[in-house]
Amino acid sequence: MAAIITKLPGLRTGLVWTATHRPAYQRTGNPLNLYVNLRDRLLHTTSTQQTWTPRREPTHFLKYNKKVYPPTPHGETERPAFICHQKANIKYSPDKMWYVACLVRGMKIDEAIAQLKFVNKKGAVAVQETLEEARELAVQEHCVEFPSNLWVSESFVGKGIVFRGYRRHARKRFGKVEYKHCHYFVTLEEGEPPEHYYWHRRPLTPQEMLEEWLESQRRRIIPGTL
Amino acid sequence: MAASRVPVICRFSQFSVKPVCAASSCHILEPRTSYICNDPNHKYFGTSTGLSGKHYNPKFKRDRKLKFIKIDYPNLNDNKDVDDMTQDEIRAKMKERGIQPVRPWQEKPLFISSTSDTFEAYVPPEGDGKISVTTAAGAKQKLELLGKKGKSMMAIRELRQFEENFEANEFAEEAQQTYIDTHEALIKLDEDRLHQLVTERAYPGVVHEVKYKTLRWQFVKSLEPPRVVQVRCTNMITKENVFAQVTVRFHTQQILAVYDRFGRLQYGSEVVARDVLEYVVFEKHVANTYGTWRIHDKIIPDWLPPRSAIHRTYRKEKEEEQQEEEESAEPKSSEELQKPATEQTAAATN
């Protein structure tokens, strides 16, 4: 087909151009060229320079929002609605953000936002914004009726892009400066939060304490006995 | 007397009992620096080391700043979305990077394999045409139906020029199969199959709000055999370019249950079968040799009773509420003009 069209004088130059710029089309025999073939097909070759560099954002976490669960059988407890949301590339250290992320875990949404207002850290602003966005999205898109009936079931931090800079030291030495960015991830779940978010850290009841003590007594090994 | 003159020094200065007179015995007990901490205007700045991250001597602050080699790293947080930027902002950014403006996209997608409307949409008679002919309304309805039937006969004649073997009864059976296949494709959200069964005009309506939901649909039985109620033929642009539209009446029993993303029942039931009366418009580009009969429209009459409520409630969007308020406010405004000003303000606040 291409050979026939190239005989037309007007189209000749255009097709020669494509033939020289996309040679990967013909190289289908070698399996090693498969990647090259795919890459050249997906990339549009019209302009090499883009106005904006593509944003590097984590994509996996938001895919949980697209998962469709099978219908709950009649009589069983319904699965609570949840929403995953993220804020990518916040100009803040992930190490510092960890403290803010830990603070809101297991809180009701209104309580979490109220608490964050009193956290005197830069990261708290980003976290608060993310929570408010997530709450809005939950009502609009994820079948949640009451925005207050949500709690923070997951809240964690990811490491974002790090730009490296330099700092002069004495005697012609230099040190590395890292301009860190972080991602913040949050999951809001419908309903009431559990009494103890960290189950293993819950205060034990007297009965449980007794059982634990008995178990430890039974398990001990007394040397030199029968 | 001597006991009352002994000062009780407390950690908090306001609670410490001070001696009434500055006797010689007083200043021995009080520390020498007490005048500093007792002075409300005294300000003390200690040498801060470590935690604050600031050098205690601000003298060479500027020189220390110059030690950092400045790098120009992009601000990842501002102007996140190109859609939110104004034209001037985009222009400034492109100028900064030295990029030519992109040519605007001027192509408009146009489908010529289906029409964009239903021609002379069939109006289902109220009460399913069971009104007695002896009443005035019944007689009028019957006459109208007769007139429409004549038009349908003419259209069938035109249609037979392209499809010689067109039989209304056979077609109704075929249409029912298409109807069932469409629902089955919709449950799987098989887009390729749906495009074979549904015209481009009907497609957005068919798949509306279906994504991320689970549908359980079953065709139980046909209560009455499907029937062709109206046939229309229309030509577009040229005389030979003919589209045919056939309205088919389905009276069936179906089961429908809609579950949301989390598997919670939103609408219907998987157990209860319901009677469904539907008028579905099928369309074919008969001038096209490879044209197929596809679902084009569903006729919803004005007299249709409202649907049963959904199981779960939801919050209305703000925009709709605002529009409703504006609409409701408009007829009021003419009445309010006649009222005194005080009442107007009261109405506005309410």
Same domain, B33 and B131: no
B113-168: per-residue pLDDT in tens?
899 889 888 888 876 666 777 777 778 878 888 888 888 999 999 999 999 999 99
pLDDT at B326: 56
Q: Tell whether the model's pLDDT for residue B86 goes beyond 80.
A: yes
pLDDT at B39: 74
Nearest-by-Cβ selection for A145 from B93, B214, B315: B315
- Quickly count: other Cβ atoms within 10 Å of residue A58's Cβ: 13
pLDDT at B36: 67
Under an 8 A CB cutoff, do A67 and B71 touch?
Answer: no
Spatial CB neighbours of B298, under 8 Å, sequence gap ≥ 6: B202, B205, B278, B279, B280, B281
**Residue of chain B nearest A139, judged by CA positions:** B315
Integer-rounded Cα radius of gyration of chain A: 29
Question: In the predicted model, what is the mean pLDDT of residues B42-47?
Answer: 63
Q: Find which of B183-192, B302-311, B326-335 is predicted with most confidence, using mean pLDDT.
A: B183-192
Spatial CB neighbours of B204, under 8 Å, sequence gap ≥ 6: none
Q: Tell whether the model's pLDDT for residue A115 goes beyond 60.
A: yes
* A165 Cβ under 8 Å from any chain B Cβ: yes
Residue owning tokens 């190490």 = A95
Residues in chain A: 226
pLDDT higher at A85 or A225: A85
Nearest to A192 by CA among A127, A136, A146: A146
**B317 in a structural domain:** no
pLDDT at B138: 77
Structure tokens at A212: 């634990």
Task: Find chain B residues with C-beta within 8 A of A89's C-beta.
Answer: 76-77
pLDDT at A13: 35
Tell me the C-alpha distance between B223 and B75, whole Å.
66
pLDDT at A39: 44
Structure tokens at B4: 């009352």
**Shortest Cα distance from B52 to chain A (angstroms)?**
14
Same domain, B133 and B33: no
**Shortest Cα distance from A204 to chain B (angstroms)?**
34
Under an 8 A CB cutoff, do B76 and A68 touch?
Answer: no
For chains A and B, CB pairs below 8 A equal 91
**B58 in a structural domain:** no
Considering chain B, what percentage of its residues have pLDDT values greater than 90?
A: 41
Residues of chain A with CATH 3.90.470.10: 61-66+78-195
Same domain, B277 and B150: yes
A31-84: per-residue pLDDT in tens?
444 444 444 444 444 444 454 555 678 999 999 999 999 999 988 999 999 999
**B207 in a structural domain:** yes
Residue B72 pLDDT class (50, 70, 90 cuts): confident
pLDDT at B111: 84
**B165 in a structural domain:** yes
Nearest to A124 by CA among A82, A89, A92, A163: A92
Task: Find chain A residues with C-beta within 8 A of B85's C-beta.
Answer: none
Q: Tell whether the model's pLDDT for residue A25 goes beyond 90.
A: no
CB burial of residue A183 (10 Å; 0-12, 13-18, 19+): buried
pLDDT at B311: 80
pLDDT higher at B329 or B84: B84
CB burial of residue A209 (10 Å; 0-12, 13-18, 19+): exposed
Tell me the C-alpha distance between B152 and B230, whole Å.
6
pLDDT higher at B21 or A83: A83
Question: In the predicted model, what is the mean pLDDT of residues B229-246?
Answer: 92
**B186 in a structural domain:** yes
Q: Tell whether the model's pLDDT for residue B343 goes beyond 50.
A: no
Q: Tell whether the model's pLDDT for residue B253 goes beyond 90.
A: yes
Tell me the C-alpha distance between B266 and B130, whole Å.
34
B279-326: per-residue pLDDT in tens?
999 999 999 999 999 999 999 888 888 887 888 777 777 765 555 555
Look up the CATH number of the domain holding residue B171. Answer: 3.10.450.240
Which residue intervals of chain A are DSSP H helices? 2-6, 12-21, 34-42, 94-104, 109-116, 122-141, 206-219
pLDDT at A174: 92
Q: What's the angle, vertex CA B248, arms to CA B157 and CA B169, rounded to 5?
A: 60
**Of the candidate ranges A54-58, B11-15, B169-173, the one whose mean pLDDT is the lowest:** B11-15
pTM, two decimals, is 0.70
Q: Tell whether the model's pLDDT for residue B221 goes beyond 70.
A: yes
Question: In the predicted model, what is the mean pLDDT of residues B94-115?
Answer: 84
Quick one: DSSP state of residue B117? S
pLDDT higher at B129 or B342: B129
- Preferred mutation among B91, B255, B261 to probe A, highest tally of A CBs within 10 A: B261
Q: Tell whether the model's pLDDT for residue B108 goes beyond 90.
A: no
A161-220: per-residue pLDDT in tens?
999 999 999 999 999 999 999 999 999 999 999 999 999 999 999 999 999 999 999 999
pLDDT at B48: 57
- CATH for the stretch A61-66+78-195: 3.90.470.10
**B264 in a structural domain:** yes
**B75 in a structural domain:** no
Question: In the predicted model, what is the mean pLDDT of residues B107-115?
Answer: 86
Under an 8 A CB cutoff, do A71 and B314 touch?
Answer: no
Q: Tell whether the model's pLDDT for residue B248 goes beyond 80.
A: yes
**B341 in a structural domain:** no
By residue range, what is the domain housing residue B29?
A: 2-38
**Residue of chain A nearest B266, judged by CA positions:** A143
Number of structural domains (chain B) is: 2
